Amino acid sequence: MIKNKKLLLTILFLLIISFIILSFYIAKHPVLPFDVNVSLDVQKYQTAWLDKLMLAISFFGELPWSLLSVLVVAAIFYYKNYKRESYFIASVLCSGLIILCIKNIINRPRPTSFYVRLVEVNRFQSFPSGHVLSYVLFFGFLIILMQRLKTIPKNLRNAITYVSVFLVVMIAPSRIYLGAHWFTDTVGGFLLGLICLFPLCYYYFKKPDNVVPN
């Protein structure tokens, strides 16, 4: 049962309003001096190993690996008899349609070599960051599942939680470092990821939980 429903709805409302305001502002101001300055600050320290690390962090957001990773994890949960969880994990893929729709509406160009160093070149529009959205939604939901599914060994739950938290925290800096996104793109992706996470968690927690506690 979901507690503090009114508070959660208020938070969701504020997230939606914040995303809408940011989207309108970005549509009117595609290149912001603030974004350029943040990118230059993030890219001050550049090495070959850091390039590889940031590319590795972004790996699970690249097509087709983003699709495969979700399907593989969903299949593992299904095979381990967490069938309901597997369906919810697979539903994360629907966020791809949402992100493409919003990208086309806002139509913000990607950062160019005129402003920043490009380690990674991308095809689609810049706002919001699809990587950040998918990491917040997918790994964020995994973090929540690891707190609920007490039948999974504690060491495994902790390992999945730590890795997921690391990826959620580091995905935005990695996208800026790689020159793939502006800072405000990552903020938009983070907000949209949380917005999408709300209904996913709502329907997951809606039914009684049959999980056996420790």
CB of 67 within 8 A of CB of 93?
yes
Residue 156 CB contacts under 8 Å (≥ 6 apart), including other chains: none
Q: Is 2's pLDDT higher than 60?
A: no
Q: Is 4's pLDDT higher than 90?
A: no
DSSP character at residue 59: G
The predicted structure's pLDDT at residue 154: 93
- 1 vs 125, which has greater pLDDT? 125
| 151-210 tens-digit pLDDT | 999 999 999 999 999 999 999 999 999 999 999 999 999 999 999 999 999 899 886 544
100 vs 187: CA distance, rounded Å: 17
Residue found by looking up tokens 């940011």 in the block: 22
* Token duo for residue 160: 């999945």
3 vs 144: CA distance, rounded Å: 15
Q: What is the mean pLDDT of residues 88-115?
A: 93
Q: Is 73's pLDDT higher than 70?
A: yes
Distances 19 to 150, 186, 193, 198 between C-alpha atoms, Å: 35, 11, 10, 14
* Token duo for residue 5: 């429903």
Residue 160 CB contacts under 8 Å (≥ 6 apart), including other chains: 142, 143, 146
Q: What is the mean pLDDT of residues 84-109?
A: 93
| 32-57 tens-digit pLDDT | 999 999 999 999 988 999 999 999 99
* Nearest CA among 106, 146, 140 for reference residue 124: 106
11 vs 93: CA distance, rounded Å: 24
Query: Residue 208: is the preceding peptide bond cis (ω within 30°)?
Result: no
The predicted structure's pLDDT at residue 213: 41
The predicted structure's pLDDT at residue 3: 55
pTM (2 decimals)?
0.89
| 113-135 tens-digit pLDDT | 999 999 988 778 999 999 999 99
DSSP 113-143: TTTS--SS--SS--SS-HHHHHHHHHHHHHH
48 vs 46: CA distance, rounded Å: 7
160 vs 148: CA distance, rounded Å: 13
| 18-36 tens-digit pLDDT | 999 999 999 999 999 999 9
- Angle between helix axes 5-28 and 183-206 (nearest 10 degrees) is 150
Q: What is the mean pLDDT of residues 96-123?
A: 90
